[in-house]
Amino acid sequence: MTDPISSFRRVAQMDSSSRQVSAKAQERAADTATEGLTKPLAPLTDEVKLSAVAQKAMQEPEFDRAKVEAIKVAIQQGQYPIDSRRIAENFMAIEKMIKE
């Protein structure tokens, strides 16, 4: 018998039937999960395709190796001219950019 106002018994019946359905769904999910463990997994492969711009950027940069080596040698020998005024001006420019 059901209470006509609250329909309590119907709710209880619906609750138990939904519990049965969810239990069955859980069993199927568990079966599927264990099934996946016994089957061999397909090999995963990743493929990356770079654009032409990215490929060009990844290549060795273009610069004058001889000039770089000459500067390295001059620095190591203490013969590289340093313009302290120019360095200070560049630091001031960087400071202004940071403050803005």
Instruction: Express each pLDDT in 53-94 by its tens digit.
Output: 888 877 877 788 899 999 999 999 999 988 999 999 999 999
pTM, 2 dp = 0.31
Confidence of residue 10 (pLDDT cuts 50, 70, 90): low
32 within domain boundaries: no
Domain count, the chain: 1
SS (H, E, C) the chain: CCCCCCCHHHHHHHHHHHHHHHHHHHHHHHHHHHHHHHCCCCCCCCCCCCCHHHHHHHCCCCCCHHHHHHHHHHHHCCCCCCCHHHHHHHHHHHHHHHHC
Domain extent, residue 87, equals 52-99
Q: Which of 7-11, 17-21, 55-59, 93-97 has the lowest mean pLDDT?
A: 17-21
User: Residue 92: inside a domain, yes or no?
Assistant: yes
Q: Over the stretch 24-58, which tens digit does the pLDDT of each residue have?
A: 666 766 666 555 555 666 678 888 888 888 888 77
